[in-house]
Amino acid sequence: MSYYYEEIEKAVIDGNSENAAKYCLKSLQEGAAFQEIMNQGLIKGMSIIGKMFKDEEIFIPEVMVSARAMHSGINAVKANLDPSETISSKGTIVIGTVSDDMHDIGKNLVAMMLEGAGFKVVDLGINVSSEKFIQAVKQHKPVIVAVSALLTTTMVNMEIAISKLKEAYGDDIKVIVGGAPVTEHFADQIGADGFGNDASEAVEVALRLIGE
């Protein structure tokens, strides 16, 4: 039985929050498991959006509308989920923009795409100190920390954040980086475990780091 997975996928691609919520709820009520609704409907739709974004067929506004539709579906299901049903994920990712950097559009897009790929995302926001990243790792036990910098002047704070994280946790934590001025060469120089040129690449790198 396919439930309403195709309708959910289409709702995400179309950015139709109302339909995403409606068909996710219908699927749940007819016996679909939450994880199947995620994998076969919501994540499948966001994966297509990610590919379209990477191929420059759509742009940030369209991705954000689709991400909102995905969240509507998730929230509708969570609000009606049987308490005995556990929600699994690919792991937690802590994300934030470095100290002295107040930009968040790129970071927000990456966070949405990571959630669409099945990760639980803890968003620390902007102007995040190294100490706050370290504390978040201690608290949330993420599989990956994603660090963003949108200004050339704050790239040094990205280097400091990675240095502090590696000093505190060594190879137990993986760090990926990105942002307009950041390059793969710079990421290698500062000891990052991965680099994403855009939100789609960030998802690919994150999946690769967890072995998928």
As annotated, the residues of the chain forming the CATH 3.40.50.280 domain(s) are 92-209
* CATH 1.10.1240.10 residue ranges for the chain: 5-79
Angle (CA) 69-120-131 rounded to 5° is: 125
Average pLDDT over residues 98-104: 95
Q: What is the pLDDT of residue 113?
A: 87
Architecture in CATH for domain 5-79: Orthogonal Bundle (1.10)
Would you say domain 92-209 falls under CATH 3.40.50.720? Answer: no
How much is the average pLDDT of 183-212? 94
Q: Which residues pair with 22 in a beta bridge?
A: none
Which residue would you say has higher pLDDT here, 112 or 178?
A: 178
- pLDDT bracket for residue 116 (50, 70, 90): confident
